[in-house]
A and B are shown apart, each in its own frame.
Chain A
Amino acid sequence: MDNKDQKKDSLYLKLIPYFDRYGILLLLFIMIVVMHFLQPDVFLSWRNVTNVFKQISWQSMLALGVFMVIVTAGIDLSVGSIMMLSLMILAIVAKAGAPWFVVAMTPLIAGLICGLINGLGITILRMPHPFIMTLGTLYIFRGTGNLISGGTPISGFTDEVRYLGHGRIDLTWLGLEKSQYLPVSLVLIAIVYIIFWVFMNHTRTGKWIYAIGGNPSAARASGVNVNKILVIVYSLCGFLSGIGALILAGRTDSGYPNAGLQSELDAIAACIIGGASFFGGRGTVLGVFAGVMIMGILRNGLNLMDVSSFWQQVLIGSIIVLAVYIDVLRRDLGTRK
């Protein structure tokens, strides 16, 4: 290898960490550009962009929760069921005529308790893998949701309860038109993601979550209470699913038995596309957001182009495989030979 080649090589190697960190954003950007050229009048319109954010709003909460669990090398299959159960409890409490702030708090508390049950099951019952505990609660929580509601939809909430999912922030004071509003759910996504970005990257607990995913015995030997951290992670995941339920209540104005069906798989897919590793310890909050956006834009774009939802399934599946394959290639380049 001559000198010039070596130089090129080292520049290439230097770029790898940046590609590692921001490659997923590049993919997102390319998708936006392609969609813009395919649907120049519609795709980047105010109405459509806000639509995308409204559509991904509750999924983004589930994905963020599942992401933290995946960082610990765990998995949570029950997030869709937690959201459905929380939504049903919200609907029942709302129908009973409770004041709006009580109604709004119920899904958050219900979600937190469901997550706590997962966490305690995994640690105290010493389930061999979180897959098993959360597979069990996937059925238990959805079954409970159907039991308490009789399996029928419960509709009609007050505007205060619907605010997070349905609210609009008026921007006419900026000289914009009435139709150019900011969905409250978009602001909520931004706030929650920033809080969890700080939590995962700048607090001890966040570091320990990554450490547990990297090497649980190292974390234990360092004095980290691994079980306590796991319980916190699964509880937070449940709590975020509860926020998802509150958003969904606002969007649909209804608690319905099929809410969140299979959305645990969407959440896992978003994490994987966003670069989180199933073996734990790897992935970023920004990556999860990009993963959620990629899935949202794909669905939105294909809908705009009247592509059938069957093709959407095929495409999302292909993107998961492709995203992980790119990751495999990248890791081959990055490892010592």
Chain B
Amino acid sequence: MSSINQLLLEAKSVTKYFGTITALENVNLKIHAGECLGVVGDNGAGKTTLMKVLSGLYKPSSGSLYFDGKKEILESPKDSQELGLEMVYQDLALAGNLPIGENIFLGREPTKNLGFIKLLDFKKIKELTDAHLGKLKINVKSADQKVEELSGGQRQAVAIARSTAFNAKVVIMDEPTAALAIKEVGKVLDLINSLKKTGVGVIVISHRMDDIFAVCDRVMALFQGTNFAESELSKTSRDEVIGWIMGKK
């Protein structure tokens, strides 16, 4: 399916040095609309570095990034956000003392003008939140609930909702199920599937084979900073992918 869909983001021979250490060497990555790419690899294989290059947090030593086929140079995560790339961080990056809606719109709150003063438009925040949560089939009691009152899975769902509230084309998720209770993992995976249906390209970094095989269409393995192996999910097996992580083909 990936071949017929639009190519959203491509990294071509990205190399990243930290001093004398080579963290990434000539790494390539492609993500298409409505596709989920699993990125696997052992600790230190370069997964996180690659994601930080994609989001603009690190500048690559060489190599280039193409968003919608156009070469772009990212100066900061803000640039990648403007191009439609969002990160869902492992530590969730939510403010527990604020309600769900205000977390989703934090930093980008809709306002209304009262004379020359801009006031928050709480009605609009609530409407947009309800509509967005509904679209992703996320069930919470109310958009006014504080995030600290939610379970780990619900928080992860809010974090994902947050990342996709502003026309995100590509969402990168770093270990989206690592901190969750088993019964909540399924809900987050369902959410990733509904995200794909909206045409978003999802990159999932995970150690859990169950997650990779539940949501991904393609899987790529990094080993010691290089592209080690890549395959359509249907043409590989758990054991093979686990072998790639350990550097065996």
Could you tell me which A residues sit within 8 Å of B by CB distance? 198, 202-204, 207-208, 210-211, 213-215, 217-219, 221-224, 281-282, 336
Contacts and interface: CB of A to CB of B under 8 A. Distances in A.
Contacts of B97: 210, 213-214, 281-282
A218 B96 CA distance: 10
Interface stretch (B38-46, B103-111, B168-176): B103-111
18 contacts: A198-B119, A202-B120, A203-B119, A204-B111, A204-B118, A207-B106, A210-B98, A211-B95, A217-B91, A218-B92, A218-B94, A219-B95, A221-B89, A221-B93, A222-B108, A223-B78, A224-B106, A282-B97
Contacts of A203: 117-120
B149 interface: yes
Contacts of A215: 93-96
Nearest to B146: A214
B57 to A, nearest CB: 11
B93 A217 contact: yes
B248 to A, nearest CB: 37
A208 B117 CA distance: 17
Contacts, number: 65
Interface of B: 77-78, 81, 87, 89, 91-98, 102-103, 106-109, 111, 117-120, 149
Q: Which of B92, B106, B111, B149 has the most CB of A within 10 A?
A: B106
Determine chain A's interface SS by DSSP, over half rule.
helix
Nearest to B106: A222
Contacts of A214: 95-98
A213 B98 CA distance: 10
A223 B98 contact: no
Contacts of B81: 223
Contacts of A211: 95, 98, 102, 106
Contacts of A198: 119
A85 to B, nearest CB: 31
B161 to A, nearest CB: 13
Contact of B102 (A207, A282, A336): A207
A215 B93 CA distance: 7
Contacts of B94: 215, 218
A210 B78 CA distance: 22
A219 B94 CA distance: 8
Nearest to A220: B93
Nearest to B91: A217
Contacts of A218: 92-95, 103, 106
